[in-house]
């Protein structure tokens, strides 16, 4: 499992709402035919925020992939032509656009605690009926990953693993073998999780408190301003 | 009736778990199909088939008002992260109609659930609305990454009526996925006592 | 004081179902430590749910009778209110956390009932100090071991300051040192005068803590023992009642051990396995006998699962495996291996038991499959849906699958966690039966009773390497017992060559 250490007290810790905004802004502009320079600026800003949140490994991983793709694009691709050139461009450009989106969603997921998430969205009066499912969703994505790993191992022992061969020769059967245990364990674990949470007072009518202070600070406003500028610039152009 | 079909905290937690599963599988499937252009255009169909059993088990486990809409919000958020806010709105619209169909079946009718999933499966083609509303910009953007030849081909391959083909694919995918989900329910989950 | 008065409960709508509890009357004094025991499915867990209010507010069914905590009626009041009085810890550490970070989890209960932020921090500090969890603060729950998760669960319940603690088989996924830590936690709770109700199979670690034992059968309370009565109970009586051992020292080795074959051997050379670039397992040299039933023991995170994964070729590694000089590659081993997982639900794919056991077999020989099923007492279950079976039966189906497909390397991942004595014994019989036609059986386990009942040798893994390997002869039995009683730390010998003659 990846390390997902959550830091709370340090120089800059963005509000979950800001991180959401950041994610949507990045997603919104990245496909809008922006220049290579803008792409680098967006990525650099995200990297700085990632470093401030002490997610060094995340930064290194995304940063190195991004840098390689960028360097190949700038220095190698212009010298290639024909089918090879097109192939290289496809490989280094399209997936590269996804990197800022992945980085900002990783930033959101890794550095937001469930408690902060609930508090932030309660503040802007989002309904409980959405807050609870979404906070569970956060927590459950790594669980799905864990379950998936052990199910796929189990399938390999039976010779029905999720391989290209099996997916092409018997797609429906493979789909069933994947889905049955995956759905079984989701149903069981979610039931147990619900029992545990309710027995610890999740259902209470009393207004929830939150151990970390959630409010928009200077850093949040700067990031929000930056996002607005970015969107405005993209729209005007 | 109204008390029984009201979402309780327990249901909200189950909803979150299934939304997580739905979204993860959605991402993996898109990731697998995304790199091959032809397969990419088939994505609405493939997604419909793959996600059907998750939807069917979910709605059978939480036969309550609003459950489908919550899932639609989750899918909307995730698909609009790719920058197509239109996809988000589209998901909510599909979710709402799917919810109404399930409501018409009083959250009991399997047939109407399958039909509601056909509509819900259309969420899978949300990002493709760009082909209608912003085709020029889309092709322009493609020009940046592919060469002119490829873009011309893509242009020829996707006239604006093509969106109806995609819609059709999504509906067919939804039908297959819904039927498959229903089959798995009968074959496995009812016997296992999950629902 | 908890007062349960003539309570009956059945899950679902069928009042004749045999899955509930009937006619339970029980009074538990404030500050008392009560253990609920009995065979699997006897109603222990249901009774804990009655006390923490999950029945009838979460699990629906037919309930009669009343449950009071002092003057407070649990069945009538909302669950959120009961949460302040009764704290619950559950069996499965994977599914009881709402948060992703440990600090958030510790505060979760307090946040829910709206306690002021300063007060929550004070309580969280207090709970972490008391349960020695400072090093686990601000961690992701996905990187904790089962034992650490259970301690966080106890501490986070403690932070709400309930008077009553209800624990449902908290030790079933824990290794020996974690069980000891859990014992210390319970000790502290008892010293503070909390009322504790615990449903449990493992009893030995409750010595000196428990005041009273409630024995249940088919949903009824059939015996009540005071602590002295319980601890002086004869082994025979324990076995009859399906109870686990009370004292590790008294466990006897199963007599008719499998003949140790002196023929072929599997030798493993310079095995190295890396995770994220760091070596997590290094085994310089190890020779294993054919037909061995090997218990793999050691603390959590020491590399037991990694070793098992390398053995059956599912984890990437470097190193040489060969049988009598003939190398056998990872792909080949994977084809010939089978792992019975801790959560058997992960490995049941089809709609009938017969399909399940022949899945993946090259020539599906139904007759042979039926013979195996008969041997495992599953002959009437051929057409049943595997997921509809009981936990023990599911496990048997999984083992039958391995036998039918003629797998040579059988790996079991904690097959007896949460099993009562009788089920544990029948799992032993199965494993022995399956071992006869296999080259090697290896069992990752924390269950000493099971080891002495079933295994022929012990492989002790610690700190990412083999630190001991011995047969279960008289000396070996004492050695393994000592490890479980005292939690002895075994220092790895890096360049060691492990082989038995």
User: For residue A151, what is the nearest residue in chain C, using CA coordinates?
Assistant: C346
Residue-level pLDDT at A11:
57
pLDDT digits (tens, 9 = 90+) for B129-169: 777 776 776 676 666 656 677 777 767 777 777 888 889 99
Question: Can you read off the two tokens belonging to residue C379?
Answer: 């002959």
Residues A25 and A231: beta-carbon distance below 8 Å: yes
Say if C107 is an interface residue toward chain A (CB within 8 Å): yes
The Cα C381–Cα C309 span in angstroms is 31
User: A6-10, B17-21, B93-97, C419-423: lowest mean pLDDT where?
Assistant: A6-10
Predicted confidence at residue B181, as pLDDT, reads 96
Q: What pLDDT is stored for residue B65 in this prediction?
A: 93
CA gap B41, B125 in Å, rounded: 9
Cβ–Cβ < 8 Å for B25, A140: no
Q: Where are the domains of chain B?
A: 9-132+161-189
Same domain, A72 and A105: yes
CB contact at 8 A, C412 and C440: no
Q: Which value, in Å, is the radius of gyration of the alpha carbons in chain B? A: 18
Mutate which of C13, C80, C385, C391 to test chain B, going by most B C-beta atoms within 10 A?
Answer: C385
Separation between Cα atoms, residue C310 and residue C331, nearest integer Å: 11
C388 inside 8 A of chain B by CB: yes
For residue B24, the distance in angstroms to the closest alpha carbon of chain A comes to 7
CA distance B176 to B50: 9
- A93 pLDDT more than 90: no
What architecture (CATH level 2) is domain C31-40+78-246? 3-Layer(aba) Sandwich (3.40)
Full DSSP string of C414-430: STTTT--HHHHHHHHHH
User: Is A155 inside a domain boundary?
Assistant: yes
Touching B: C residues 278-317, CB under 8 Å: none
Q: Is residue A209 a part of any domain in this protein?
A: no
What gap in Å lies between CA C28 and CA C75, rounded to an integer? 17
Residue A29 scores a pLDDT above 90: no
Which one of A138, A146, A210 has the shortest CB-CB distance to C111?
Answer: A210
User: Which residue among C78, C101, C348 places its CB closest to the CB of A203?
Assistant: C78
List of residues 6+ apart from B189 with CB closer than 8 A: A183, A184, A187, B57, B60, B195, C387
Closest CA to C114 of C158, C79, C81, C74: C81
CB A137 within 8 A of CB A44: no
DSSP conformation class of C496: -
Distance set, CA A75 to CA A65, A78, A80, A90, A92 (Å): 16, 7, 10, 15, 12
Mean pLDDT of chain B: 86
The answer to whether B12 contacts A33, with C-beta atoms less than 8 Å apart, is no
Question: Considering CB atoms only, which of B70, B81, B141 is closest to A33?
Answer: B141
Query: How many structural domains is chain A composed of?
Result: 2
pTM, whole model, 2 decimals? Answer: 0.91
- Copy the structure tokens of residue B93: 């619209």
How many Å separate Cα C436 from the centre of its chain?
25
Quick check: C160 and A201 CB within 8 A?
A: yes
Chain A interface mutation, best of C46, C87, C95, highest count of A Cβ atoms under 10 Å: C95
Q: What is the mean pLDDT of each run of 10 residues along chain C (501 residues)?
A: 93 71 94 93 92 91 92 91 94 90 94 93 94 89 88 93 94 84 93 95 91 94 93 88 87 68 82 88 90 89 90 92 90 92 89 86 74 82 86 87 87 89 88 89 93 92 88 88 74 62 51
Longest dimension (CA), chain A: 66
Is residue A120 situated within a structural domain? no
* Residues, chain A: 237
Over residues B107-134, mean pLDDT? 88
Nearest CA in chain A to C350: A177
Distance CA A235, CA B138 (A): 15
pLDDT higher than 70, residue B82: no
Query: Are A109 and A133 contained in the same domain?
Result: no
Q: Are B192 and C387 inside 8 Å of each other by CB?
A: yes
Q: What is the CA radius of gyration of chain A?
A: 22
Whether residues A162 and A221 fall in one domain: no
Q: Nearest to residue B191, comparing CAs of C385, C352, A185, A183?
A: C385
For residue A185, what are the domain limits?
Answer: 125-198
A187/B145 CB distance under 8 A: no
For residue A119, being part of any structural domain is answered with no
CATH code of the domain occupying C265-336+408-498: 3.40.50.300
Same-domain pairing of A230 and A185: no
ipTM, 2 dp: 0.90
Instruction: Suggest the residue from C83, C346, C361 to mutate for an interface test with chain A (most A CBs closer than 10 A).
Output: C346
β-sheet with C465-471: strand ranges across: C337-340, C409-413, C440-444, C293-297, C457-462, C465-471
Closest CA to C82 of C100, C93, C96, C68: C68
Q: Do residues A168 and A189 share a domain? A: yes
pLDDT at res. C262: 62
pLDDT in tens, B34-72: 666 667 778 899 999 999 999 999 999 999 999 999 999
Assign residue C139 a region (left: φ > 0; alpha: ψ between -120 and 50; beta: otherwise). beta
A3 inside domain: no
Subunits with 3+ Cβ pairs within 8 Å of C are: A, B
Cβ distance C109 to A159 less than 8 Å, yes or no, reads: no
The answer to whether B94 and B72 have CB atoms below 8 angstroms apart is yes
3-state secondary structure of A171: helix
Closest chain A residue to the Cα of C309, Cα to Cα: A153
Answer whether B192 sits within 8 Å of C351, measured CB to CB.
no
Which residue is it, tokens 């493609």? Answer: B142
Q: Where are the domains of chain C?
A: 31-40+78-246, 265-336+408-498
Q: Do the domain assignments include residue A27?
A: yes
Closest listed residue to residue C96, CA positions, set C187, C46, C181, C167: C167
When pLDDT is cut at 50, 70 and 90, the band that residue A4 belongs to is: very low
């Amino acid at each position: 499992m990846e390390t997902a250490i959550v830091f709370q007290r340090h120089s800059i810790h963005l509000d979950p709402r800001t991180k959401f905004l950041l994610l949507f802004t990045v997603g919104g502009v990245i496909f809008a035919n922006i220049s290579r320079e803008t792409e680098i600026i967006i990525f650099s800003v995200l990297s700085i925020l990632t470093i401030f949140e002490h997610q060094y490994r995340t930064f290194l991983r995304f940063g190195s992939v991004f840098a390689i793709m960028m360097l190949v694009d700038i220095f190698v691709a212009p010298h290639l032509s024909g089918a090879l050139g097109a192939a290289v461009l496809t490989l280094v450009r399209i997936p590269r656009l996804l990197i800022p989106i992945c980085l900002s969603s990783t930033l959101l997921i890794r550095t937001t605690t469930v408690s902060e998430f609930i508090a932030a969205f309660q503040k802007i009066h989002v309904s409980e009926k959405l807050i609870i499912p979404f906070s569970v969703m956060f927590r459950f994505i790594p669980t799905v990953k864990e379950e998936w790993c052990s199910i796929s191992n189990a399938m390999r022992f039976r010779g029905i693993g999720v391989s290209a061969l099996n997916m092409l020769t018997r797609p429906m059967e493979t789909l069933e073998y994947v889905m049955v245990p995956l759905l079984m364990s989701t149903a069981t674990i979610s039931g147990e999780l619900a029992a545990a949470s309710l027995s610890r007072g999740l259902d209470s009518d009393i207004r929830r408190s939150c151990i970390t202070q959630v409010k928009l600070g200077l850093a949040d406003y700067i990031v929000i301003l930056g996002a607005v500028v970015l969107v405005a610039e993209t729209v005007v152009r | 009736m109204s008390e029984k079909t009201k979402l309780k905290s327990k249901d909200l937690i189950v909803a979150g778990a299934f939304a997580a599963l739905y979204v993860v599988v959605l991402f993996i499937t898109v990731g697998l199909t995304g790199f091959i252009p032809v397969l990419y255009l088939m994505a609405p169909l493939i997604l419909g088939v793959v996600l059907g059993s998750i939807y069917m088990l979910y709605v059978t486990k939480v036969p309550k008002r609003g459950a489908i809409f919550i899932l639609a919000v989750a899918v909307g958020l995730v698909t609009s992260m790719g920058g197509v806010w239109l996809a988000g709105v589209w998901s909510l619209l599909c979710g709402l109609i799917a919810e109404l169909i399930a409501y018409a079946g009083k959250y009991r009718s399997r047939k109407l659930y399958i039909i509601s999933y056909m509509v819900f499966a259309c969420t899978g083609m949300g990002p493709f609305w760009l082909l209608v509303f912003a085709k020029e910009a889309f092709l322009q953007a493609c020009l940046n990454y592919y060469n002119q030849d490829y873009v011309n081909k893509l242009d020829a391959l996707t006239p604006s009526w093509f969106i109806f083909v995609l819609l059709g694919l999504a509906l067919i995918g939804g039908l297959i996925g819904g039927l498959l989900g229903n089959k798995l329910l009968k074959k496995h989950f009812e016997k296992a006592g999950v629902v | 004081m908890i007062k349960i008065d003539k309570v009956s409960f059945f899950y679902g709508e069928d009042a004749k179902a045999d899955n509930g509890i009937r006619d339970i009357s029980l009074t538990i004094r404030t500050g008392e430590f009560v253990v609920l025991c009995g065979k699997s499915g006897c109603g222990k867990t249901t009774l804990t749910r009655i006390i923490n209010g999950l029945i009838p507010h979460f699990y629906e069914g037919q309930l009669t009778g009343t449950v009071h905590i002092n003057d407070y009626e649990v069945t009538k009041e909302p669950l959120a209110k009961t949460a302040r009085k009764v704290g619950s810890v559950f069996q499965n550490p994977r599914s009881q956390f709402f948060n992703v970070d440990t600090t958030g989890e510790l505060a979760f209960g307090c946040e829910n009932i709206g306690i002021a932020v300063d007060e929550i921090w004070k309580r969280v500090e207090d709970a972490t100090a008391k349960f020695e969890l400072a090093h686990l603060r601000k961690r992701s729950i996905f990187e904790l071991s089962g034992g650490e998760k259970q301690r966080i669960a106890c501490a986070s319940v403690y932070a709400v300051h309930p008077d009553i603690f209800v624990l449902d088989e908290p030790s079933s996924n824990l290794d020996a040192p974690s069980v000891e830590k859990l014992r210390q936690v319970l000790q502290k709770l008892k010293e503070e005068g909390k009322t504790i109700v615990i449903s449990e199979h493992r009893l030995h670690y409750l010595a000196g803590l428990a005041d009273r034992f409630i024995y249940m059968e088919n949903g009824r309370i059939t015996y009540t023992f005071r602590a002295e009565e319980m601890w002086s109970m004869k082994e025979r009586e324990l076995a009859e009642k399906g109870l686990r051992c009370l004292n590790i020292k008294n466990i006897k080795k199963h007599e008719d051990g499998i003949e140790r074959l002196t023929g072929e051997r599997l030798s493993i050379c310079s095995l190295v396995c890396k995770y994220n670039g760091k070596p997590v397992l290094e085994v310089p040299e190890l020779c294993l006998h054919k037909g061995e039933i090997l218990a793999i023991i050691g603390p959590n995170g020491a590399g037991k699962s990694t070793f098992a994964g390398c053995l059956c070729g599912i984890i990437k590694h470097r190193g040489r495996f060969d049988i009598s000089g003939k190398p056998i590659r990872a792909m080949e081993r994977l084809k010939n291996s089978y792992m019975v997982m801790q959560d058997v639900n992960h490995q049941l794919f089809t709609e009938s038991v017969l399909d399940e056991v022949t899945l993946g077999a090259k020539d599906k020989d139904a007759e042979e499959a039926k013979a195996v099923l008969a041997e495992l007492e599953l002959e009437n279950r051929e057409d049943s849906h595997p997921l509809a079976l009981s936990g023990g039966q599911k496990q048997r189906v999984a083992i039958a699958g391995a036998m039918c497909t003629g797998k040579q390397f059988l790996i079991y991942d904690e097959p007896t966690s949460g099993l009562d004595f009788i089920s544990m014994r029948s799992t032993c019989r199965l494993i022995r039966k399956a071992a006869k036609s296999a080259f090697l059986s290896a069992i990752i386990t924390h269950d000493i009773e099971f080891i002495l009942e079933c295994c022929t040798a012990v492989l002790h893994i610690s700190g990412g390497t083999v630190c001991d390997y011995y047969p279960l002869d008289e000396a070996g039995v004492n050695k393994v017992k000592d490890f479980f009683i005292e939690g002895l730390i075994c220092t790895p010998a890096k360049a060691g060559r492990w082989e038995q003659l």
